[in-house]
Structure 1
Amino acid sequence: MSSSTKMKKPIINVKAKTLLYPFLLFSAIIITLFTELAAAPQQLFKGFTASPNPTTPNFQPLLSDSTGNFSLTFLRVNQDQLALAVLHVPSGESLWQANFTEPTQWDKHTQLIFNGSIVVTNHHSRVVWSTNTDGDLVVLAGSSNLQILKGEKSPSVLWQSFESPSDTLLENQNFTSTMSLISMNGLYTMRLGPDFIGLYAKFKSLGSGSDQIYYRHRAMQAKANIIIGHGPILARISSDGFMGLYQNGSTPVDIESFNSYQRSVPGPRRVRLENDGNLKGYYWSSSSWVLDYEAISETCELPSACGLYGLCRPGFGCSCLDNRTLAKVDQCYQTQEIKDLCEESTNKKNKISEIRRIGVELPYKELMSYIEMTSFEECEKSCKQNCTCWGVLYNNGSKFCYNVDYPIQTILEVVGHESKMGYFKMWEGGKKKRDERLGIGIGLLSGAIIVLGLVIGFGVYKFWKRNKMVNNHNSILEKEDINAPGPYKDLRSSSFGSVELSNR
């Protein structure tokens, strides 16, 4: 066959290939995922065991609901750790996670067993989580509720994930006074009071008392009244787009409306306690989770929007109580460096410094206890003499003195309110650590500048040496009257000096 009749190869545009490869990779991942989900059983019986697959990048399905929208999975966390989770498959969002007693590795020695209980053991063969039941099978309902059932003809529910929520409350899931939502970072909790929904923060050290409440929504009791002693209240998300509080009946004693109130939406609804302490509501739009509700709408009203010893000014963002600028959250003070002031005050090696500010207050002062005092000096003195006090905030108008008995979180800046003052204690170890990091950063920058200087200097030296060699070479050529052969001649020679370019 002649070269002219050979079939030409199709030319593929390079840009098209670049765009095609990610698409093919994504398609392969989706196909693999749905293949695994299709292979996942819809019931688990006694004797079922599973271990994580080391090649699985994100999550490994173990059990699927009948619709394929939800899956019980091994979920990979922080690359090498494992969680047992119920996922919303279309989005890959975790709706529930088992509360392990210790971090568990993603390796072949970690195992899930169903022997009447769902049991997870780690690589040391220690039980890190168990349902402590004696059931016959495990199912995942279409509502994402993981259940352990007992019996065959009319099975009873022995255990269900809807009664042990993690950070999320699902549509039509009853949330009672015996339950709590806990943010994934473990800092914030949602609980029910006798007539309210409360959000709490673990700002206090262990053993120092209850958590600090920073948000409270009381029931309006517009359509029905709460009768104390007639049973606890419960919260439930309605498909009509609200979170209702109920007591012994179907009529809500309170309604917290979402943005989509009384509008139908394509997918399920949920609320989640976020890692910043806010409670947010979402609905599934068939392609993404749409934000539908926020308990706290202003950033500066969050419990620790700017981190430890941060200062939040509405509309302007974060800075530090000690006047240092703040680029990122948690840059004013290192969380892991917080110490007990009662212990540190007796240690002469460590110093506790003081900060005073005017025009400041707590974002949730209405929920804090206070003592009336005649002056800011009196309020400050009460804190100075108390090693459990980290700071006080004083209102010169109301004469209220608010005592902060935990490490100082974000303080709210109120411009033009000089009558609102604050006094705060800071353990110097945290500042020293930060200053050391600053010194290290300066040292690294200086080192980089020195290295850059050496590189530039070396380059200049090489350039100078090369020029010197060329000049010496040209000098030798001139002395010996040596010209390059052919068209490449020494352009400085006399034979080329008289050549002129002309237009012809």
Structure 2
Amino acid sequence: MRRGKGDDPAIAAAVAIAVLCVASAVLLANGAAEREELTTQLSNGFTAAHAAGAAVPFEPVLYAPSSAFALGFLRVGAASLDLAVVHLPSSFPVWRATPARLGDWSSPATLTFDDGSLVLTGHDDGVLWQAVDTVGDVVVLLDSSNLVVRRHEKTVPEWESFRHPSDTLVLGQNFTRSSPPLVSANRRFSLRLGKTYMALHMEFYGGRTTPTYWRHTALEAQPEDGTEPPVYGRLDARGFFGLYLEGGGGDQRVDVLSFDTFVQNLTGAFRRMTLDDDGNLRAYYWASGSKAWTSDYRAISERCELPTPCGAYGLCVPGKAECQCLDDNSTSAPAAADAPSCHAEETADLCAGSGQQLGFDVVRRKRVSVAYKEELPFETNRTAEECEAACAGNCSCWGAVHSGASGYCYLIDFPVETLVYEADDRKVGYFKVRKPTPASSTGMSPGVAAATAALSLVLVGLAMAGACIGYQIRKRRKRRRAGMEQELVGGMYKDLNSMDSSNNSFRA
């Protein structure tokens, strides 16, 4: 049987290969076109609008060349809006603008780059955030996640997000004494750098009070040497956070915080160090093919050593991850970030002005201590009674913890947070609890509230009597109009008398 030319296997194979080549070329061209469509640079005159109430939590407007990061509108919580640089594989924001007043996700917002300045504007045209003191020609997002505003003729950026961290540090980002502190997303904790140390702080009263609960001093730094330059910190791809001396030739490392992967020679991973909402400083890495961040460092290893695992006036029991209330021995749920507080969080002190102190109740408890007591102010050679008295008369003091074995008295000059249980009856605590304001819903004293209620009842009674009298008057006038109409029609005399009689009886 003869086979046609079109049936030749070699020809068919050649045709198939040609089709595959054409299809591959088309796919590659489409992919290149898609990549070209990604915005990798913003020029003067750029404007992007946030769609009010957008269904997606992130709206990118600028991409890094690698497409691993993007800058855009980010939904924070259920209804707030912020500007952020997001690590796209994990959807984690490595940088946020964190303005003092967040935008409203359900309302429109605008990001503009005009006259050399990058500005985020709310729906009322109010400025939410701005890269201040900046005049640039372009905005770019580097593959390091650094957002940069720069001039064409200069290599040094006019402004960069690396100098304005939020809650996270990434590879290649220097953290110095002049850098803003790292602040947790819930605004309750911060990381600050001193001349020779780094420290974690609690944030009270809008940052006016920042007690320290963790500190690490550079081992090779010389705090007594007044001429030695301060230290700065930087995350290293090899798996550590290094502390270096500023200035001089090259990097002079004076200390290292080693991560779990330090000896594993892990390469190709993206690393970050974040101050989490529980107050712990942790390091994470994202390796190629990862589906989640892996934690390989934490500054505080035990939960009860964290500043607030059990909330206001809570007591953490080490080893059991249990919470108790200082004024109740019952055990609550395991210690966790969402553990219910025994009392409401305090947002103001007990000072009423002129040195006076607001009313408070007292809670005394044995077998208590403070996990970070070495960071608290203390007095020595005190009895438990003297320790209590030192706090009782001071309106800025919220509590005192006394150690009978050493005679140390630790004063707590900020709202009482989680204490730690210690099986020693000689360790006693004295704590103030603000008294609730009487009739707090109205702001009135009980006597004024009672008088107001009585007056309200009188006014209601008068109003009801007035309504009744008005109803009677309207009814009388209606009947009078009816009698006049019958008189004009020429009704019988006896009917008029009857109507008049009726009206008289109504007036009686």
TM range (shorter): 0.7 to 0.9
In the alignment, what sits opposite 2:238?
A: 240
In the alignment, what sits opposite 1:284?
A: 286
Whole-angstrom distance in 2 between the partners of 1:355 and 1:381: 14
Whole-angstrom distance in 1 between the partners of 2:155 and 2:57: 34
In the alignment, what sits opposite 2:311?
A: 307
Percentage of identical aligned residues: 39
Tell me, yes or no, if structure 1 residue 363 matches structure 2 residue 371.
yes
Whole-angstrom distance in 2 between the partners of 1:346 and 1:397: 33
Whole-angstrom distance in 1 between the partners of 2:209 and 2:60: 39
In the alignment, what sits opposite 1:118?
A: 118
1:99 Cα offset (Å):
2.5
Q: Is the 8 A contact 2:58 2:74 kept in 1?
A: yes
The 5-angstrom pairing of residues 307-386 of structure 1 reads: 307-316=311-320, 317-323=322-328, 324-327=330-333, 329-335=339-345, 338-343=347-352, 351-386=359-394
- Of the candidates 225, 228, 231, which is equivalent to residue 230 of structure 1? 228
1:171 Cα offset (Å):
1.1
Q: Is the 8 A contact 2:146 2:162 kept in 1?
A: yes
- CA-to-partner distance for each residue in 1:46-100, whole Å, 9 max, x for gaps? 0000111244411011100111101001111223321100000000000000031
In the alignment, what sits opposite 2:498?
A: none
Whole-angstrom distance in 2 between the partners of 1:359 and 1:344: 34
Structure 1 residues 162, 382: CA separation in 2 closer, same or farther (over 3 Å shift)?
A: same
Letter in 2 for 1:342: C
In the alignment, what sits opposite 2:501?
A: none
The 5-angstrom pairing of residues 31-430 of structure 1 reads: 39-54=37-52, 55-107=54-106, 109-115=108-114, 116-132=116-132, 133-152=134-153, 154-179=154-179, 180-203=181-204, 205=205, 210-221=209-220, 228-247=226-245, 248=247, 249-262=250-263, 263-286=265-288, 287=290, 288-316=292-320, 317-323=322-328, 324-327=330-333, 329-335=339-345, 338-343=347-352, 351-415=359-423, 417-429=424-436
Q: Secondary structure at the match of 2:175?
A: coil
Whole-angstrom distance in 1 between the partners of 2:79 and 2:373: 41
In the alignment, what sits opposite 2:502?
A: none
Q: Secondary structure at the match of 2:332?
A: coil
Unaligned ranges ≥5, structure 2: 1-31, 441-508
Whole-angstrom distance in 2 between the partners of 1:144 and 1:380: 52
Whole-angstrom distance in 2 between the partners of 1:35 and 1:72: 21
1:161 Cα offset (Å):
0.4
Q: Secondary structure at the match of 1:326?
A: strand
Q: For structure 1, which segment, 179-188 or 228-237, has the greater mean C-alpha deviation from structure 2 after superposition?
A: 228-237
TM-score, length basis structure 2: 0.72
Q: Is the 8 A contact 1:306 1:312 kept in 2?
A: yes
The 5-angstrom pairing of residues 424-439 of structure 1 reads: 424-429=431-436
Q: For structure 1, which segment, 191-200 or 291-300, has the greater mean C-alpha deviation from structure 2 after superposition?
A: 191-200
Whole-angstrom distance in 2 between the partners of 1:275 and 1:340: 23
Letter in 2 for 1:80: A
Q: For structure 1, which segment, 157-166 or 226-235, has the greater mean C-alpha deviation from structure 2 after superposition?
A: 226-235
Q: Secondary structure at the match of 1:51?
A: strand
1:108 Cα offset (Å):
5.7
Structure 1 residues 355, 43: CA separation in 2 closer, same or farther (over 3 Å shift)?
A: same
Structure 1 residues 255, 376: CA separation in 2 closer, same or farther (over 3 Å shift)?
A: same
Q: Secondary structure at the match of 1:378?
A: helix
Equivalences, count: 393
1:382 Cα offset (Å):
1.6
Structure 1 residues 325, 78: CA separation in 2 closer, same or farther (over 3 Å shift)?
A: same
The 5-angstrom pairing of residues 444-463 of structure 1 reads: none
Letter in 1 for 2:325: C
Structure 1 residues 428, 225: CA separation in 2 closer, same or farther (over 3 Å shift)?
A: closer
- CA-to-partner distance for each residue in 1:222-258, whole Å, 9 max, x for gaps? 9x99954232211001111000000034231001000
Whole-angstrom distance in 1 between the partners of 2:304 and 2:438: 24
Structure 1 residues 206, 103: CA separation in 2 closer, same or farther (over 3 Å shift)?
A: closer
Letter in 2 for 1:131: A
Q: Is the 8 A contact 2:382 2:409 kept in 1?
A: no
1:351 Cα offset (Å):
4.8
CA RMSD of aligned residues (A): 2.7
1:331 Cα offset (Å):
2.3
Q: Secondary structure at the match of 1:156?
A: coil
Whole-angstrom distance in 2 between the partners of 1:135 and 1:98: 18
TM-score, length basis structure 1: 0.73
Structure with higher Rg: it is: 2
Whole-angstrom distance in 1 between the partners of 2:278 and 2:167: 12
1:295 Cα offset (Å):
0.2
Q: Is the 8 A contact 2:313 2:341 kept in 1?
A: no
